[in-house]
């Protein structure tokens, strides 16, 4: 049987048309008209004034830290329940990640734990973090007003890793619109993809200009090649931007389809005891990038999600564990963390189901039919 992937690219005739047009125009080099138009679309989807299209969301976070003045040895609060691409840029700039656990409303970073840590540092006289990087998990933002209230009280800037949240709306604002800057991703498995890519988005024109310069090797505007600072080769190509233009044109359709898939999973397994889904707070309208469930180990047994994953592999259907928390990763386990146990429980008992917007109804039926006896065992 043909493999059903977790979140494959969903591209069509429009993306092909724009790509071929860009190719035929000979705008093969990084800069070009499609790049500028793609950046306008990104900014619009994120509710921002400026966007700089880059090679990845990780590159956007890296450059965001640089232009924000993060220095070697600084502390940055960051979600522990995320992908390493959120945290690696902290190491790139020589800073120290301080991992913060999740809350159960949205599985995102817990504002109460952030407040506890900041208050502890004030009492102990310890140096305050220079920033908090809030990650939008599985297409849903954290409780941003609560985070901003706490961080503003202690003078800690908030930046947003919206890699998984293009098209999300929370508190009436779009994913990617929180903080002085945000990073978004167009990786191959994201809800909108350029095959590989991302963007730095902001309302600050000067920040955008600095990121654009650094992303093109920080070359000074003179006829010869001259550089006064270290730059990076992070710019997205015009050809990939052409694909991205087509993806953003049809983004709402893909969001709607992923929501349908999530709701059909909920309906199909409404009678399964000890099964819960990623919660959707009343303030959130997620993009449903992935459909995520958790099995109660007291009912299903510990390690059951791994048994289910392997059984689904036998049907040639891809599923995936929820993110392994960063505080448990070998490369990051030596760093401080503020935990409540939620991310550990989610990792040990949770999984992601196929959620791609290109899934047909028969694909979805096949997933449900394979999964049903495993969950109702």
Give the pLDDT confidence of 91-137 residue by residue, as tens digits: 999 999 999 999 999 999 999 999 999 999 999 999 999 999 999 99
- 3-state SS, one letter per residue, for 125-165: CCCCCCEEEEECECCECCCHHHHHHHHHHHCCCEEEECCCC
Give the pLDDT confidence of 32-53 residue by residue, as tens digits: 999 999 999 999 999 999 999 9
Region 152-176: mean pLDDT is 97
Minimum mean pLDDT range among 61-75, 186-200, 218-232, 339-353: 218-232
| Alpha carbons 141 and 114: distance in angstroms, whole number | 16
Give the pLDDT confidence of 250-266 residue by residue, as tens digits: 999 999 999 999 999 99
CA–CA distance from 142 to each of 8, 66, 139, 297 (Å)?
25, 24, 10, 26
Flag whether pLDDT at 29 surpasses 80: no
- Percentage of residues in the chain with pLDDT exceeding 90? 97
Q: For 262, left (φ over 0), alpha (ψ -120 to 50), or beta?
A: alpha
Longest CA span, the chain = 70
Give the pLDDT confidence of 345-375 residue by residue, as tens digits: 999 999 999 999 999 999 999 999 999 999 9
Give the pLDDT confidence of 207-252 residue by residue, as tens digits: 999 999 999 999 998 889 999 999 999 999 999 999 999 999 999 9
Flag whether pLDDT at 157 surpasses 80: yes
CA–CA distance from 228 to each of 71, 207, 214, 231, 287 (Å)?
19, 18, 11, 9, 42
Answer whether 324's CB lies under 8 Å from 236's CB. Answer: no
Rounded to the nearest integer, the mean pLDDT of the chain is 97
Residue 331 confidence (pLDDT): 97
pLDDT band at residue 377 using 50, 70 and 90 as cut-offs = confident
Residue 31 confidence (pLDDT): 83
Residue 171 confidence (pLDDT): 96
Region 138-144: mean pLDDT is 97
Nearest alpha carbon to residue 98 among 131, 56, 136, 70: 131
Flag whether pLDDT at 286 surpasses 80: yes
Burial (0-12, 13-18, 19+ Cβ within 10 Å), 152? exposed
CA 125 to chain centroid, in Å, comes to 34
Paired strand residues for 199: 53, 184
Residue 223 confidence (pLDDT): 86
Residue 58 confidence (pLDDT): 98
Flag whether pLDDT at 30 surpasses 80: no
CA–CA distance from 214 to each of 53, 133, 203 (Å)?
12, 21, 18
Residue 1 confidence (pLDDT): 87
Region 131-159: mean pLDDT is 98
Q: Where are the beta strands (DSSP E) in 203-322?
A: 275-277, 284-285, 291-295, 320-321
| Alpha carbons 247 and 330: distance in angstroms, whole number | 36
């Amino acid at each position: 049987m043909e493999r059903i992937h977790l979140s494959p690219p969903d591209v069509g005739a429009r993306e092909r048309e724009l790509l071929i047009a860009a190719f035929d125009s000979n705008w093969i080099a990084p800069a070009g008209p499609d790049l500028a138009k793609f950046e306008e679309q990104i900014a619009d989807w994120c509710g921002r004034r400026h966007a700089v299209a880059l090679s990845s969301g990780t590159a956007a976070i890296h450059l965001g830290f640089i232009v924000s003045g993060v220095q070697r040895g600084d502390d940055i609060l960051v979600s522990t329940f995320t992908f390493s691409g959120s945290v690696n840029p902290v190491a790139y700039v020589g800073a120290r990640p301080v991992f913060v656990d999740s809350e159960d409303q949205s599985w995102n970073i817990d504002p109460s734990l952030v407040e506890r840590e900041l208050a502890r540092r004030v009492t102990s006289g310890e140096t305050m973090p220079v920033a908090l990087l809030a990650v939008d998990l599985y297409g849903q933002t954290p409780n941003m007003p609560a985070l901003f209230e706490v961080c503003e009280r202690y003078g800690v800037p908030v930046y947003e890793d919206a890699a998984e949240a293009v098209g999300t709306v929370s508190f009436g604002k779009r994913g990617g619109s929180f903080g002085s800057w945000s990073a978004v991703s167009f990786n191959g498995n994201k809800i909108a993809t350029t095959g590989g890519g991302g963007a730095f988005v902001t309302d600050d024109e000067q920040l955008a200009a600095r990121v654009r310069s650094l992303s093109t090797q920080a070359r000074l505007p003179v006829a010869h090649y001259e550089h006064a600072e270290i730059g990076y080769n992070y710019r997205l190509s015009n050809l990939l931007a052409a694909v991205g233009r087509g993806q953003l044109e049809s983004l709402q359709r893909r969001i709607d389809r992923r929501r349908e898939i999530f709701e059909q999973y909920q309906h199909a397994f409404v009678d399964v005891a000890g099964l819960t889904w990623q919660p959707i707070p009343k303030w959130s309208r997620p993009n449903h990038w992935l459909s995520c469930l958790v099995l109660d180990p007291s009912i299903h047994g510990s390690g059951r999600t791994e048994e289910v994953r392997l059984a689904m592999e036998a049907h040639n259907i891809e599923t995936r564990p929820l993110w392994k928390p960063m505080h448990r990763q070998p490369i990051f386990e030596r760093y401080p963390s503020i935990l409540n146990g939620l991310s550990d429980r989610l990792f040990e008992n949770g999984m992601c189901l196929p959620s791609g917007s290109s899934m047909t109804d028969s694909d979805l039926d096949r997933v449900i039919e394979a999964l049903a006896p495993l969950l109702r065992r």
